Amino acid sequence: MTDSILFWNDVALEANWVSHTNGLQEQTGPPLSARALAIVHLAMHDAYVAADGAAGYVPYLPGLPAAPAGASASAAVTGAAYTALSALFPSQRNLFEIKLGQAGNVLDPGHEFGATVARAILQDRGSDPSVSAAGYVASPARGRHRADPDNPSQGYHAPFYGALAKGFAITDRHELLAPPLDTPEYIRALRQVRGVGIAPELMGTVPSTLVQRTVNQTMIGIYWGYDGAAGLGTPPRLYNQIVRQVAMAQGNTEAKNARLFALVNVAMADAGILAWDQKYIHDFWRPVVGIREHDLSMGLGIQPTDNLSNDTDPVWVPLGAPATNSMNQNFTPQAADVFPFNQAVVGRMKNFTPPFPAYPSGHATFGAAALHITRLFYGIASGHRGADKLFDK
């Protein structure tokens, strides 16, 4: 194990996709998976910083005990990561035990110290809300998010999480402008998505006036399908994979990786909180509902008409996010309600529309947070806005 941060980051990313595949609902969905990665990497960061006095960084959590004499930083990281991961993903403890054996430093005094740090971080986040939708009622109003009509039992993911969760580092919340509805800009976007975003089996139904999706665009859409797909996971996993490549290309030291991955994952955890808060404030519908119900005579608030808008398609289905990363088209998770609540169709799981409002984009919010933090870390950009517990120190 040459770099304990990269080693356990890889384990955490494996836990992410496994949790979206085994059906046991541990840290599933984008906001909770971002939270889990932040907890793991904060525990590793604070354990490393305390054990390696030369790192030059300040711990995230105040009041931590001093590292014991002779504690190695890598052993502290191992103890922190193993303890945090085991608490967050208890069904995967066997995997973590194997990785613990590979790390090979469990007898070092730093190991138990790292475990102590992880328990403190977990306690600090112990009051975080769940992603339960209990008590949530979807709005029948035009333009509001409702369940995918092609997957009507998918439910609603984390409607209260963003509003109730405390930030990791943010000191302020930002209200976004409401997305447009029925403006020329909106109509252009609707027509683009209707043509480019349609399911492959329906491409022959696209009006000739609309641009159709190319093969390359199909591949791009599938590439970005980290929406909790079985065997794939969520956007925070994808962005960690990208940052890993940057860190290795830059030749980061272990200390720099402890700092970088803590910054990146805290930024994404806060991005998940803020994005989900705004998602359910604006409650903007997804294309599968917006295109089907564009005409005022469609949807729940019906206004009868004999002149249906040409921009309406009552049977439109999107390409959607891939339900699984498996090449086996008959692959299904071990539980029927695995996030994101897909349904099996003719022996295979169909693509899906995510079970939360469209605006703002989770992918865009997570990506901007992770990659801009990475740019700031390497001094490529300056003038970051607002204070946070890590970067300003």
How many CA within 13 A on the CB side of residue 118?
A: 25
In angstroms, the CA 156 to CA 134 distance is 9
Residue with tokens 């910083």: 49
Give the tokens for residue 368: 């901007």
Is 45 a catalytic site residue? no
Catalytic one of 145, 363, 372, 384: 363
d(CA 325, CA 342): 14
Cβ neighbors of 16 (< 8 A, separation 6 or more) are 27, 33, 36, 37, 233, 234, 236, 237
DSSP string, 217-276: HHHHHHHT--SSBBTTB-HHHHHHHHHHHHHHHHT--HHHHHHHHHHHHHHHHHHHHHHH
Neighbours of 296 (CB within 10 A): 16
Q: What is the residue type of 70? A: G
Instruction: Report the chain's terminal Cα–Cα distance, integer Å.
Output: 29
- Three-state SS for 153? coil
Element (H, E) at 240: helix 235-250
**Pairwise CA distance, residues 134 & 131, whole Å:** 9
Residue identified by tokens 């769940």 is 130
Please tell me the distance from the alpha carbon of residue 334 to that of residue 313, in angstroms, as a whole number: 35
> Which residues does the annotation mark as catalytic?
363
